[in-house]
Amino acid sequence: MLQLNKLTKQYATGDLALKAVELEIPKGQVVALIGPSGAGKSTLIRCINRLVEPTSGSVDLNGKELTKLGSGALRTARRRMGMIFQEYALVERLTVMENVLSGRLGYVGFWRSFLRRYPQSDIDEAFRLLERVGLDHMADKRADELSGGQRQRVGIARALIQDPELLLVDEPTASLDPKTSRQIMRLICELCAERGLAAIINIHDVALAQMFVQRVVGLRLGEVVYDGPPNQLTPDTLTQIYGEEDWEATIEKVEDDEEGDDALPQGALA
């Protein structure tokens, strides 16, 4: 269970990016975080693992108050928070396998990590994960030889090999085409369901979020203005989150897509 209590972030510039945000995410729940540019979505995700230091309030993950941890304990706690990025953040000249294994760097000792010598159990797990994300035949390819969708699959496998308690996902599909975006969202949600893993997915595409998650949180100007199921996102609530716009088209798109999307195989390759 993740709990945010009055989480507030004011940047040195004076920007108040989060205003006393309260949020509770139970084990196994996948939440889409939506909101206009500048609403505070990235700040919220980064305050959870303290890549951005909150100004006040607390973050509690499975009974541990992350906001109180010193640097050593924070490093240990961060191992259990997998992060998936928009731009994948892979090491381009390393292979798919090496990139996945880099998710274990927080666990292996200094020399092993320096020499990149991983225990056999990590290598076995990396193969299992690559198989699960549909990339087992590409283990030896260099990251810079992959498509965007394949890169994101590597990013997902790298996050999962950390054995995370929570996934923090920052715009995972922003650089992908619509079909690959769906495949990646489906894969993330399936993996969370299989592992009882909670996730927060910062996502710009409301229709895509509505297709895959059970709960949507809408941020506006650093405040939660919507928290509920995707099917209750009406034009009025979307206006509350994003401001005036013709929302009927967005909502219709979801309904159309839901009808036609079942043809894709589970975990299909990008």
The smaller minimum CB distance to ligand ATP, of residues 152 and 202, is found at 202
Which of 3, 8, 38, 80 is close enough to bind ligand ATP by CB under 6 A? 38
Name the DSSP class of 265.
Answer: P
Neighbours of 261 (CB within 10 A): 13
Which of 7, 23, 31, 39 is close enough to bind ligand ATP by CB under 6 A? 39
The smaller minimum CB distance to ligand ATP, of residues 34 and 138, is found at 34
DSSP β-ladder status, 215-220 and 30-34: parallel
Q: According to the binding rule CB under 6 A, does residue 49 interact with ligand ATP?
A: no
Using CA atoms, how far residue 147 sits from 135, 144, 151, 197, in Å, is 12, 8, 6, 27
Q: What is the SS3 string spanning 134-148?
A: CCHHHCCCEHHHCCH
The smaller minimum CB distance to ligand ATP, of residues 39 and 135, is found at 39
Neighbours of 175 (CB within 10 A): 16
The smaller minimum CB distance to ligand ATP, of residues 51 and 105, is found at 51
Beta carbons of 267 and 187 less than 8 angstroms apart: yes
The smaller minimum CB distance to ligand ATP, of residues 11 and 114, is found at 11
Q: According to the binding rule CB under 6 A, does residue 267 interact with ligand ATP?
A: no
Q: According to the binding rule CB under 6 A, does residue 40 interact with ligand ATP?
A: yes
Which of 29, 42, 102, 181 is close enough to bind ligand ATP by CB under 6 A? 42
Neighbours of 103 (CB within 10 A): 25
CB of 250 to ligand ATP, least distance (A): 17
Q: According to the binding rule CB under 6 A, does residue 35 interact with ligand ATP?
A: yes
Q: According to the binding rule CB under 6 A, does residue 172 interact with ligand ATP?
A: no
Q: Which two tokens stand for residue 51?
A: 């890549």
Binding-residue total with ligand ATP (CB under 6 A) = 12
Q: According to the binding rule CB under 6 A, does residue 220 interact with ligand ATP?
A: no
Q: Which of 1, 202, 198 is nearest to 84 (CA)?
A: 202
- Note the residues at the interface with ligand ATP (CB under 6 A): 11, 13, 15, 17, 35, 37-43
